[in-house]
Chain A
Amino acid sequence: MSPDPVPAVVPAPRDLAADATPIGDAPGIEQARALGLTDAEYALVTEKLGREPVQVELAMFSLMWSEHCAYKHSKKLLVTLPTEGPAMVLGPGENAGAVDVGDGWTVAFKVESHNHPSAVEPFQGAATGVGGILRDIFALGARPIAVLDALRFGDVDATDENGDPTPGAVRSRFLLDGAVRGIGHYGNSIGVPNIGGDVYFEDPYETNCLVNAMALGLLRRERLTLSAATGVGNVVVLFGASTGADGIGGASVLASAELGDDDADKRPTVQVGDPFEESKLVECTLELLERELLVSVQDLGAAGLTSSASEMASKGEVGLDLDVALVPRRQSGLEPFEVMVSESQERMLCIVTPERLDEVIAITDKWDVHGTAIGVVTDTRRFRVFDGDDLVGDMPVPALVDDCPLYDIFPEKPAGGPASIYPAPQARLARDASSTDALLALLSSANIADRRPLFEQYDPVVQSRTVKRPGEAAAAVLQVPGPAGRRAVVGGLAGPTDVAAESDPDRAIPGVGVSIDGSGRRVAADPYAGTLWNVLECASNLACVGAEPLGLTNNLNFGNPEKPHIAWQLTESVRGLGDGCRAVGAPVVGGNVSLYNEGTTGPIFPTPVVGIVGKVPDVRRAVGTGFVRDGDVVARVGAFVPQLGLSEIARLEGRDLPDGLPDWNVDRIVEGIVAVREAVRAGSLSSATDIAEGGLLVALAEAAIAGGRGARVTVEPADGDDPERTALFGEAPGGFVVTGSRDALAALAESVPVAILGEVGGDRLTVDAAGETIDVSLGDLADAHGALARHFG
């Protein structure tokens, strides 16, 4: 606390003549176009204002009416997603969603993308992506307790005719390295564990990589804080970092150069993150909320003050008077519009009653994130921007926030199928390769190889909740609330822990399982079925640790929706997402849409990334991926109908994407997911993993490597054109490899298809498959699986 606090000045609402208009000239329609507004949208803005917008207003409208803020091409689709469920506490529309995990504890979570900044500057792009999603979490009053990430890069193994890495592969390695360092830098420094994620390497991401970050937060339900600005006369307080020109023209459509600023093109458009500032911001925000000093709070993200203040005003159905002259700057010479749109990181905006203002400022001083009163809540429902005494912007809040036109998109399936959009990948496996060679090639391929070289750059254990670390189980497992108990969610960490309860060894330890999944390849082949598959895969991963879905967050990464084939991908994908959510019982708590992901080589694979949080009644029962006991029976479980058309082995063979995926019996698949989950919860399985890229043989090999134990199994041919290969390498949703006692698997077989394959034991994986025997030592399997390390020198 400051030893000698000076009372803060409470800003007063300005008394203006009814016909007062902002000073300055209207930049006009040419600049509006340059900022991304269409002529019709500009005309609508002019109509709403009753005059042409001046510079501040044009900058603010162009942002609030951008795709990023207004979801104008996706909102009509998103409303079709299910958002109701028994655990739902907070659905879409706030900073993040939240679900009830029992005993008054709530988990807030959300995934968000930071794709374009990461493609330009991967370290800061990825770092600020983590910083941004964490602010969304603690803006709700939740302590951030975990980060996961979904990363997509170009092919890091592509070679030219001399066997050297292609320029694209070199670029992709650079982006991978920078993004991983950036994620680690931010999350490690702020003390939030990174507990999982996924990464794929595919050509269509080469010039437009994807960096999606998901965060979870923990709070007592009564602490849930919304962002609506209320209470006429209440004060708007900005705290955290000072405001600079960074990020102008970053996530937004605003390009400063086109507003005529000579120096603007030299400014970085990628924001620079400071996790130290954010770590103080977390504690400060949580302490302010714990002391019940705030009416509401909101983070500053894309579009900075413009977006956060106008959304707070809109939700509270009030007006705001803000004075940009009061905003603390880190550089001189900023224009009012620049202050309003700056995306400087690590800032929060809150609404405070005048009586509490001094206390709030004192707490922000304690944490060195000095708060400043910059405005006041009014009853005008207008967003008025002042620069000292000058009125520089005056807009109806509903016009800014709600009146952006929504657009229909015009889907059309591409006549030539997906192969007409996405060229076949480079072939690196002979089509007549032996199954042993195919297995080793798969294990060492970038999409399957061990992720340890990535996740060992992240801290998975800080905060003492992590029961299953990355790589140990199909999904991450956290004990929640964990032994820090109520203390854990309080700013500054005052309050009691739950250590005393640990003296009871028989008590159940509740928690959550979390996974994030989203292969784009399968969605490119079939947007509906591929997206459904992603949801089923995520739920399958959760089942392996005994987690039942409570809610789902999604990040829809797509190309330009104004193109008919992208519109088709998006429309079909959202339909698959909705059906997937309903099938596994995971309502959507919120998410993000990232469109226009097209590089110089065409659109990315359509990539709907889904993250599910599930309830684990007793984390002590969660099992890992690896074999644990010699003599355990190995079984394939679930309604699993593998096919080779869309498989990792087909990719290695350089085959085209298939046009469409088979129909699956989704009800039967979900029955399998439920059966595995219940078996894990009952404590009857030794290990469980889902069958994913590479099919059954890769799943067996990974379980052997993880457990440090071999197995001897027999695999019967599957149905289809190439029965042996389909059984070994075919892919589909709904399949698991589990181990346990013969009795446990017999019990499981009563509710779901179970194929007994063999037994755990020895130090080799030996597979008899219709006349061919695959027999590889654990050491050789692990060597192949360790291939990714070469990209992190």
Chain B
Amino acid sequence: MNIPLRKKLEESSESCGVPCEMIIHFIEAEWISPIDREHRMLDDEDEARVKLIWELREDFGVNDEAMPIILHLLDQLNFFHWKIKQSIL
């Protein structure tokens, strides 16, 4: 079984190009659920979500009120997409 690579907040911040304090804000807003919440360590999935949130904020001007709605819809979309792919394979 592959254990996802976990990175410290600072490493993820560097890798995603997103300031640490913003990632902390994302975690506190519960937009990110780090793979290791206690030690604030992120895996690839968390990092990809951090980048997405950052782009939605910085590039698309999505505010904090709209963010959870968009993330929820994207999670739904991804879930259905995955389900459909599984069902037709």
Physical interaction between A and B:
no
A interface residues, Cβ below 8 angstroms from B: none
